[in-house]
Structure 1
Amino acid sequence: MEIKEFCLAHKFDMSKCAVDSGGGSFTMTELKTSPVEFLNLAEDDFERGGLSTLINATTNAKRAIVCQLDQLLISFGYPSLKWNVPKKIERLRALGLLTPSLLRKVVDMRNILEHEYKAPDLQSVEDALDVASLFVMSASAMFIPFEDVLEFSLPESSVRDSSVTHIIAGLDREPRGVFYTVYAYEPGDFSSRCVGQCEVPSGHIIFEAMVKLSASLMLRYKVDQAFENLDKAYAQL
């Protein structure tokens, strides 16, 4: 059952809800070579100095960034290894995860090196390393831990119109994919009782809106925009 059908079946209006986030068991997928390892190689190259090492530092700084993009996207169930960099950045922005605009400058600098054979200058390489380090470290920090549970609760004034008082969405990763499992609860004599569930798969517009909301709540950054984004996503269904 689709999430909108699920909410309609339980007469649950997500746009009227208060939202809390929590949890923290969702971790990034391990890759054979990590972004940090590429970052260490770039920094080692830079320290040695000379034209060849500046070129190697630029290459490895880009690899650190792209590897971090892939690690984040793969963790949320996206087949990003097949995508070009602009598409990776686009999907990561949709998820509300960290994508500084400066990333584009590092990628462009590497492309100029590859296609126009222009050697990077010392300051540009140093800036590239700073951007790569900032991106890799900040992305890793989001997963210590990543809050993977969202609870949507109706205010008392709306409860009488719905038998369900709240729904809980938990982020799961299994061999078959990454998805939110959404549970609906109605009040009982002693505790809430689960009366139904559905799944929201990776790539779904609501999946991306939920990840974006979790990230915004964790960082306390652009929270209102994240709520607006969820409402717009739900309205498109």
Structure 2
Amino acid sequence: MDIKEFCLTHGFDMSRCTVALGGGDFGMTELKTSPIEFLTLAEDDFERGGLAALVNATTNVKRAIVGQLDQLLISFGYPSLRWNVPKKIERLRALGLLAPRLLRKVVDMRNILEHQYATPDLKDVEEMLDIASLFVMSASAMFIPFDDVLEFSLTDPTATENSVKRLTAGLNRESGRVFYTVYAYEPGEYAERCVGQCEIKSGHVLFEAMVKLSASLMLQYKVNQALSDFDAAYAQL
């Protein structure tokens, strides 16, 4: 049963309720070489100085940033190793996960170096290091830990005759796949009772909207926009 059918079955409109974080401990998938390790190499190269070191620093800066893009995307179930950088950034934007426009400048610098044999400027490499550090550190901090549970509660539970008054959506990773499990609850005499569940798979339009909503609520950044994007995604179903 897909999420739209699930909500219709239980008479629950996810776009017409309050949303709150419910905690969680979802972490990033480990890579063989971490973005932090590439960033450290880039900083060591920069400190050594000289043309060869600056070239290596530029290379490792891009590896740190692209590695961080991949780590985020792989953590949420996307096969990003097969994607080019613009596609990686676009998907992270859809997920609301830290893809600032400045990243394009770093990628462009590496492309100029590789394809036009340009010599990297000391000031430009230093700026790229600052951008990479900000991106990698902020992405890591966001996952200590990532709040992976969303709770959807009717604004006015008495306004509907349907028994389900609350849904929870928890992010899961198992057997190489990532998905939300949505549970429906109805009030009981002593406690709520779970009356059904369904899954929202990675890549689904609502999956991306829910990750973005979690990130916005955690950071308290553009929450209204994330809520609006969620409503728009739900309306597409």
Scaled by the length of structure 1, the TM-score of the pair is 0.98
Aligned-residue offset at 1:24: 2.6
Aligned-residue offset at 1:158: 5.0
Q: Does 1:64 align with 2:64?
A: yes
Aligned to 1:93: 93
Q: Is contact 1:19–1:153 with CA below 8 Å preserved after alignment?
A: yes
Distance 2:18 2:176 in 1: 31
Q: Does 1:169 align with 2:169?
A: yes
Q: Tell me, which stretches of 5 or more residues in structure 1 are unaligned? A: none
Q: Is contact 1:26–1:171 with CA below 8 Å preserved after alignment?
A: yes
Aligned-residue offset at 1:16: 1.4
Aligned-residue offset at 1:163: 1.1
Residue 32 of structure 1 aligns with an amino acid whose one-letter code is K
The SS at the match of 1:147 is coil
Aligned-residue offset at 1:236: 0.6
Residue 231 of structure 1 aligns with an amino acid whose one-letter code is D
Aligned-residue identity in percent: 75
Q: Does 1:147 align with 2:127?
A: no
Q: Is contact 2:77–2:176 with CA below 8 Å preserved after alignment?
A: no
Call closer, same or farther: CA 1:200–1:54 in 2, change over 3 Å.
Answer: same
CA deviation map 1:189-229 (0-9, x unaligned): 00000000000000000000000000000000000000000
Aligned to 2:6: 6
Residue 94 of structure 1 aligns with an amino acid whose one-letter code is A
Aligned to 2:198: 198
Scaled by the length of structure 2, the TM-score of the pair is 0.98
The SS at the match of 1:92 is helix
The SS at the match of 1:15 is coil
Distance 2:145 2:161 in 1: 36
CA deviation map 1:151-180 (0-9, x unaligned): 000023555332101000000000141000
Distance 2:176 2:134 in 1: 33
Distance 2:158 2:121 in 1: 62
Q: Does 1:18 align with 2:18?
A: yes
Aligned to 1:215: 215
Aligned to 2:38: 38
Q: Tell me, which stretches of 5 or more residues in structure 2 are unaligned? A: none
Residue 144 of structure 1 aligns with an amino acid whose one-letter code is I
Q: Is contact 1:159–1:165 with CA below 8 Å preserved after alignment?
A: no
Distance 2:104 2:18 in 1: 36
* Structure 1 residues 100-139: aligned runs within 5 Å: 100-139=100-139
